[in-house]
Amino acid sequence: MYKIYDVSMPIREGMPVYKNKPEKQPKIQVVQDFDTSPARESRIDLDVHTGTHVDSPLHMMPDGGTVETLSLEQLTGQCRVLDLTGVEGGITRADLETYQPQKGEFLLLKTRNSYEDAFQFEFIYLAEDGAKYLAEIGVRGVGIDALGVERSQPGHPTHKTLFQANVIIVEGLRLAEVPEGTYFMVAAPIKLLETEAAPARVLLFDGLLPA
């Protein structure tokens, strides 16, 4: 048997959004209900960076690829959850070296962010030197439990360093219930065309990988 961890944020009105900006709140409207019809239908107005989502290079690079250019092979397969709940501020190279990241790994960074229900302006993020270290190693992806992989870094060097190294970025994970370890991951962004990000359902399977 295997266990499934759904590490995606629920999408709802009033959910945590980046910097608590009202324009980033999803809006869900019932456009047809049983009082006038035999079927119920709803409409949603959704920022593509809502909740758990996958960024594509176009997010930070004018000539970068859109969501549909991302490889599903990179978004599916073995991943490793790193327990970085003791880190304050930015996750640095020194914080990551302890875990000896390997080429081709998809790393999910579990921090104290996972234990916060509201948006925190001082969220834990991946610092520029940490991003450079992972890019040099050649990891295939990085996920973090914040709505941004970086903050307060002029020029967005963490995003750009990872994108330039073809490293996929997943933001907005919920990892509080997930122990440190290795899992089989399915991270499936909505199949949007020509956008720089897409909301995703991310599932971790414990027990599917060979012992």
Angle between helices 157-164 and 128-137 (to 10 degrees): 10
Q: Which residue in 49, 53, 59, 159 is the catalytic one?
A: 59
Dihedral angle sign, alpha carbons of residues 96, 99, 100, 104: negative
Q: Is the dihedral of CA 31, 54, 112, 128 positive or negative?
A: negative
Active site residue 59: yes
Q: Helix, strand or coil for residue 49? A: coil
Contact 157, 189 (CB under 8 A): no
Two tokens, residue 84: 């970085």
What is the amino acid identity at position 146?
A: A
Residues acting as catalytic residues: 59
